[in-house]
Amino acid sequence: MHTSVICVVGSSNTDMVVKADKLPIPGETVIGGQFLMTPGGKGANQAVAAARLGGQVALAVKVGNDIFGKQAIQQFQREKINLKYTSTDPEHPSGVALINVDAKGENCITVAPGANSYLMPKDVEAVIDDLNPHDIVLIQLEIPLQTVSYVIRRCAEKKILVILNPAPAQLLPSDLFACLDLITPNETEVELLTGIRVTNLKSAREAAQALRDKGVSNVIITLGHKGAYLQTDKLGKLIPAPPVTAIDTTAGGDCFNGALAVALASKKPLEEAVAFACKVASICVTRMGAQASLPYWREVNKLPLSIDPSELP
């Protein structure tokens, strides 16, 4: 469908999910209900999200030589993802995430990164060499920061569009921001990066501008069910999400980023791309699991987007 390749550089995990009425506090055992084991990891989730929406996706991840790694590769093959840049680590296990989800769809996650921690710059040199200026790179922070920095700087040199999803939240080298076309933090991540707590439209605008002041060209702050705040040099606005009842927000952000990349690869304007990503992510959070919840293109067209934009409370 698209001539632009979406190259996802990131992590692959196996998610073990327990759904219960509430999240446990330290020292507490909560008797839950449903258990499921599903493929996950931010990089893998974003790649699958983009592939299911028709994107031409290449994936650079590192998995272990174990049952989880083999299952992940089989899953990527089913999704028709290009695995030329995916490698198997003979020494370290595949990444695993333990996820608790409560009745409202909120979650807490503990990750054992395994092979993801050993995805080094040398592992991704070839993929950057092969990319063209019209391609898009999507990257997150579940892999070593030196690899993230390497990819972003190389892409800046080659004038390749990079989308950084700065998750899980961590501080970044100050000179890296100027190399970024687009950053997509949520409220937690943007507070860590700027020191500004986002509680309403005014603070979202301030936080987005703070990132632009650091050198990022375009900022999208994802705001869960409220949608996303977009700040460019010409525009600052809240783009609403369709109202849905969330049951599991685990892969909502990953779904948003994968959909955003597909829309941009299709040469959609940024504002339209954000609206599309909000729409796709709103479907994802109505279902359990990470990759299991990611919608296909045919499902997205069934959801209306005619809702009244409303500001944050």
217 labelled binding-site residue: no
In sequence order, the 6+-apart residues with CB closer than 8 A to the CB of 139 are 8, 9, 10, 43, 148, 151, 152, 162, 163, 164, 165
Angle between the N-to-C axes of helices 270-284 and 252-265, in degrees from 0 to 180, rounded to the nearest 10? 140
Q: Which of 129, 175, 254, 308 is catalytic?
A: 254
130 classed as catalytic = no
Residue 151 near residue 124, CB atoms below 8 Å? yes
Distances (CA, A) of 200 to 95, 223, 264: 36, 10, 27
14 labelled binding-site residue: yes
253 labelled binding-site residue: yes
Evaluate the CA torsion angle 86, 89, 90, 93 in order and state its sign: negative
227 labelled binding-site residue: yes
Nearest to 182 by CA among 200, 197, 160: 160
42 labelled binding-site residue: yes
45 labelled binding-site residue: yes
164 labelled binding-site residue: no
184 labelled binding-site residue: no
In sequence order, the 6+-apart residues with CB closer than 8 A to the CB of 130 are none
284 labelled binding-site residue: yes
- Binding residues, by number, are 13-15, 41-45, 142, 186, 222-227, 248, 250, 253-254, 284, 287, 289, 293
Residue numbers annotated as active site: 254
- Binding residues for ATP, by number, are 186, 222-227, 253-254
- Binding residues for K(+), by number, are 248, 250, 284, 287, 289, 293
- Binding residues for substrate, by number, are 13-15, 41-45, 142, 254
